[in-house]
Structure 1
Amino acid sequence: MAVKSPCVDLCAFDGKTGFCTGCYRTREEARSWKKMTDHRRHQIINERSRREAKVERSGA
């Protein structure tokens, strides 16, 4: 079964980290989500809390 996109329809990218403040993916990751392997999608989802903390530290 394919890994569901973490998109929450809040596409606003943090200028310092490059992560979306809604789903915590980069622009490139969001663009290529449908072409990624499930393994890579799981990696991105598993990095969410680390990425979220990084955005918060950057002052977004």
Structure 2
Amino acid sequence: MHFLYWFLKCGWLLMIIFIGNIYLSRLGLWSVIICIAVFVAGNHLIKKSMEKIILAKKK
């Protein structure tokens, strides 16, 4: 289960970096701020969903 958690987090980070480099390159420093905000929000969602799965398996 921890492999899936870290796989999702690393995949999410790579996707944000890829999208940030391609689509947000014209924004300069704002692209870094936007990518960090999206990454943090995505990590929060991944953590919430994985906690539900882990707690469901423990019951």
**TM-score under structure 2 normalisation?**
0.40
**TM-score under structure 1 normalisation?**
0.40
Find the structure with the greater CA-based Rg. 2
Task: Give the structure, 1 or 2, with the largest relative contact order (CA under 8 Å, sep 6 or more).
Answer: 2
| Structure with the bigger percentage of helix | 2
